[in-house]
Chains A and B, each alone.
Chain A
Amino acid sequence: EPEVTQTPSHQVTQMGQEVILRCVPISNHLYFYWYRQILGQKVEFLVSFYNNEISEKSEIFDDQFSVERPDGSNFTLKIRSTKLEDSAMYFCASSPSGANVLTFGAGSRLTVL
């Protein structure tokens, strides 16, 4: 069964460093998403991406965050200058259309020290 793959599974970084989390969505999917879950808290929507541009974003997704689909295969989330409160599990998801159910990856755990 097709799956969404995410790398790395766990990354530890120093505060202020840039981090790039990578996702390979399912190949025929057109809609891409990032969600995050801070330990012990809810899964929160960050951003959705369609047709090479952001379609929706939450208040969490400030200027420190950016997304890119650099090569038609990968979908990346960049955090420009990490803060302690960015420590969380980040989930990538994709969907074939705007009305279909999302398929999630296993997540990338980010720890900011």
Chain B
Amino acid sequence: GDSVTQMEGPVTLSEEAFLTINCTYTATGYPSLFWYVQYPGEGLQLLLKATKADDKGSNKGFEATYRKETTSFHLEKGSVQVSDSAVYFCALSGRNAGNMLTFGGGTRLMVKP
């Protein structure tokens, strides 16, 4: 079945550092790929998405590119802020699965001033 693997956290960075959170997936066909973020005490919020190969999703300075050849969707940000501290979830939705999402385990990011 479908699965998502992302790097374990926590990831601890200083403010203005470069961020990469790796995500790889296994799926049949051509899934849509997502990054969700969960700030403390809040629900899962969509951060960005990509629906086909080579698409780049971007939002709030975060980017991720749908790489079919490496089945990856790594999240990057050039300069993190303390306010980016949260848990980040990579997820996929199979073409024939309605909106059923398969999530990775989540990666906690802690940004220190």
Residues of A at the B interface (CB closer than 8 Å) are 3-4, 6, 31, 33, 35, 41-45, 48, 55-56, 91, 93, 95, 98-107
Contacts and interface: CB of A to CB of B under 8 A. Distances in A.
7 contacts: A31-B99, A43-B106, A44-B103, A45-B102, A101-B46, A103-B46, A106-B42
A45 B100 contact: yes
B99 A42 contact: no
Given A33-B99, A48-B100, A100-B99, A91 B44 contact: yes
Main secondary structure on chain A at its contact with chain B?
strand
B104 interface: yes
Nearest to B100: A45
A93 B45 CA distance: 11
Contacts of A33: 99-100
A98 B96 CA distance: 11
B41 A106 contact: yes
B113 interface: no
A60 B41 CA distance: 25
Given A42-B104, A101-B34, A91 B43 contact: yes
Nearest to A94: B99
Contact of A104 (B43, B49, B97): B43
